[in-house]
Structure 1
Amino acid sequence: MSGEVTDALFRSPLHERHVALGAKFAAFGGWEMPLEYAGGGVLREHASVREAVGAFDVSHLGKARVRGAGAADFVNSCLTNDLSRIKPGQAQYTLACAEDGGVIDDLIAYLISDDEVFLIPNAANTAEVVRRLAAAAPEGITINDEHRMYAILAVQGPRSIEALTHLGLPTDHDYMSFVQTRLGEAGVIVCRTGYTGEHGYELVVAWDDAVTVWDSLVAEGVQPCGLGARDTLRTEMGYPLHGQDLSREITPVQARSGWAVGWDKPAFWGREALVAEKAAGARRTLRGLELTGRGIPRGHMAVYAGDQAIGETTSGTFSPTKKVGIALALIDTAAGVADGDLVEIDIRGRKVEARVTRPPFVRTSVR
């Protein structure tokens, strides 16, 4: 069963459930997805994840499967991180880069076996990632776009263990590992991953089973959460969002995502450009900014040191946890700004003081 297209936007298999919950919708990556729900909105949903447990429908995320003899080695020769560092049953954050080092997408690779890798790219980039992999694949390797064959539900928060355990799902596996199991008649992949900074899981289920699994979570008292809270949670952790903090114009070196690059690997897309940039030093670096005054920063706002423009915000929001405005910003290396220094953000013509810091802005126990 494939996703329905309405006004050129795809819909999740849970769309009617979201409507019944009074969701406010927004377009995201070509999909019509819930931004927040009636009865509390972003602040309540954010708090539920930090303090208890929330569930996000993230079925807009892509799904692609690489199969064939040596599939894992092939993926490893394309994507940045070193897939040989993990074993079947584990997952890895990695990047697909262009030859100039710009980021086509950041994604999660599920290593099923030496001959099968399941990929979860971002919604808007799935087709391009699949296209590039297919163009590079040797004979015997197949790349299938399974974007609308599966739904993904992210169950996040300190009570996520309790909620899934009550449903009979496994919860004791290590961070960035996954278990294939069942919930009644529904097949479920339970992966210890997330995008919130809290202990959590992402459940990959067949499209037609999504409603059953979602209803089971809600019956356990799990708070439905929209993409608004997902964004405030990830920004508090300093997690990058592709298209804002990572992009074709922002490399992993600039975004401080070099930890997701297998620098010793002989080959991956963009290797030559990234090795050269790392050796020379990035001309700009992604930093955290925490406002000392009132205001809510957004993306593409100028950052100043005195009268000199030294960079631009890439993401910005109000932190529900810290009760202050926070932002990620690309700061010119030549400006010599250090953590703890004070700068200013131009928020709609008004300069607001902010302190430079290295994320996360809040401390949690993701593992």
Structure 2
Amino acid sequence: MSSEHALLRSPLHERHEALGAKFAEFGGWTMPLEYTGERGGVVKEHTAVRSAVGLFDVSHLGKATVSGPGAAAYVNATLSNDLGKIGPGQAQYTLCCDDETGGIVDDLIAYFQDDDQVLLVPNAANTAEVVRRLVAGAPEGVKVTDQHRDYAVLALQGTSSDEVLAAVGLPAGHDYMSFVESGFDAVDGVGVVVCRTGYTGERGYELIVENEAAPALWDALMAAGEPFGIAACGLGARDTLRTEMGYPLHGQDISLDVTPIEARLGWAVGWKKDAFWGRTKLMAEKEQGARRRLVALKATGRGIPRPHMGVSLTPDVRVGEVTSGTFSPTLKQGIALALVSSNVNPDAELGVDIRGRVESFAQVKLPFVDTSVRES
């Protein structure tokens, strides 16, 4: 979509305008990139999440339900992860892969409500395609419904997120990758799905609510979070936070041209399942080995990598390309994810071509920033 008026808007768009948001296009939606003001800007917003609490509008994310007798079994026979390992009230990271190539159509979260209903949250740009594929293969009695524009999603992330939720009367403290459905007192008759998930690596929650109630929920959270130093956060900070954790972004680190094995997402594949899309191709690739792999790179100097920059073993031997690259506000260093040849020694130092100058990068283990203590 090329023109501003053609882009979809979040039900919170007016709230963002009032906060002086700078907008950008994400998956066909116009969404806040960062905010102005005392707590605004990517670095300040990023730091608020790492040290206190931040509130994101991620309503551009897709929402789809698979319902009817055998709905969960159908999802389990199509998406990569093993839904049989979780039960009602739990969530799971999973992949929608192409059946012929094994490439990643999308990565998404599945919320297992019961055997007859599963809520899926795919990426904005891929929702229609994921829904199309699920509709095409659905057995009789199973209905796939695209609810992309019916619900808003707010992400409350950071060390004080439990306290902020409690202050507005919503449940907090449940296990990671689980969810609770609750009423929201500020708007009678409105339910909120409070999911203990997120894309920042910090303790946090994602809240799914009907569009009409989203502004009231946003206002309540911002007011309750004020004593804790809450910041409204844009998708710029969301990107730096997820990169520090090594979480992949579809369209950059993963795509139809990248398989779960290449992306080191084999842990999100139920290898013992009898069926899922792409199984034959991925089983063969698992046995033979992938031709490339996603690696984490940290600058040894002052270079700041960006997507599509070349990665080399020596100045004359290109071995891959940066898929995500940024300045880490936490580490004060350049960091990157890159797809490189599987033949490259994992201990080898690599070069990144930054505007004609080759800067040195070390291969490191993910995450770049350890938040495991705060996530427990």
TM range (shorter): over 0.9
Matches within 5 A, 1:100-111: 100-111=101-112
1:15 paired to 2:24? no
Supply the distance in 1 between the matched residues of 2:277 and 2:156 (Cα, whole angstroms). 33
Query: What residue is the counterpart of 1:200 in the other structure?
Result: 204
User: Of 349, 352, 356, which residue of structure 1 is paired with 2:359?
Assistant: 352
Match of 1:289 among 271, 292, 297: 297
| Distance (whole Å) between structure 2 residues aligned to residue 207 and residue 6 of structure 1 | 21
Letter paired with 1:351: V
Which residue of structure 1 lines up, in the alignment, with residue 282 of structure 2?
274
Letter of the 2:197 counterpart: T
1:52 corresponds to 2:52: yes
Aligned to 2:143: 142
Aligned to 2:330: 321
1:308 equivalenced with 2:312 (yes/no): no
SS in 1 for 2:343: helix
- 1:79 deviates by 0.1
1:223 Cα deviation after fit:
1.2
Aligned partners of 1:304 and 1:127: how far apart in 2?
37
Q: Structure 2: how far apart are the matches of 1:322 and 1:164?
A: 29
Structure-1 residue corresponding to 2:257: 249
Alpha-carbon separation, structure 2, partners of 1:182 and 1:228: 31
Letter in 2 for 1:216: A
Which letter does structure 1 place at the counterpart of 2:83? L
Distance 1:97 1:8 in 2: 29
Q: Deviations over 1:239-283 (max 9, x none)?
A: 000011110001100000000000000000000001111111111
**Structure 1: distance between partners of 2:184 and 2:300:** 48
2:267 is matched with 259
SS at match of 1:334: coil
Residue pairs, 1:205-244, within 5 angstroms: 205-220=209-224, 221=226, 222-244=230-252
TM-score (norm 1): 0.97
User: What does 1:333-348 align with in structure 2 at a 5 Å threshold?
Assistant: 333-335=342-344, 337-339=345-347, 341-348=348-355
Give the distance between the partners of 1:118 and 1:193, measured in 2 at CA: 14
Distance 2:194 2:85 in 1: 21
Task: Measure how far apart 1:177 and its partner are.
Answer: 0.4
1:38 maps onto 2:45 in alignment: no
* More divergent stretch after superposition (315-324 vs 301-310): 301-310
1:7 Cα deviation after fit: 1.9
Of 346, 363, 366, 2:370 maps to 363
TM-superposition CA deviations, 1:139-188 (whole Å, max 9, x none)? 10100000011000000000101111111111121000000001212311
Deviations, residues 96-138 of structure 1 (Å, cap 9, x unaligned): 0002110000000000010000000000000000000000001
Q: Which residue of 1 aligns with 2:182?
A: 181
Q: 1 CA distance for matches of 2:125 and 2:208?
A: 19
Deviation at 1:6, TM superposition (A): 5.3
What value does the CA root-mean-square deviation take over the aligned residues?
Answer: 1.0
How far 1:338 moved relative to its partner? 1.4
| CA distance in structure 1 between the partners assigned to 2:118 and 2:222 by the alignment | 31
Matched to 1:161, the amino acid is: D
1:284 is matched by which residue type in structure 2?
A: R
Query: Any unmatched runs of 5+ in structure 1?
Result: none
More displaced stretch, 283-292 vs 298-307: 298-307
User: Within 2, Cα distance between the matches of 1:163 and 1:105?
Assistant: 32
Task: Supply the AA of the counterpart residue of 1:315.
Answer: S
Aligned equivalents of 2:205 and 2:13: distance in 1?
21
> What pairs with 1:89-168 in structure 2 (closer than 5 Å)?
89-99=89-99, 100-168=101-169
Q: Secondary structure at the match of 1:361?
A: coil
1:206 alignment partner AA? E
Q: Using the alignment, how far apart are the partners of 1:359 and 1:308 within structure 2?
A: 25
Matched to 2:132, the amino acid is: R
Question: In the aligned structure 1, how far is the partner of 2:53 from the partner of 2:183?
Answer: 21
Question: Which amino acid is the alignment partner of residue 113 of structure 2?
Answer: I
- Normalising by structure 2, we get a TM-score of 0.95
Query: Structure 1 residue runs of 4+, over 4 Å off?
Result: none
Query: How many corresponding residue pairs?
Result: 361
Deviations 1:11-46 (A, max 9, x none): 000000000000000000000000000023000000
Give the corresponding residue for 1:76: 76
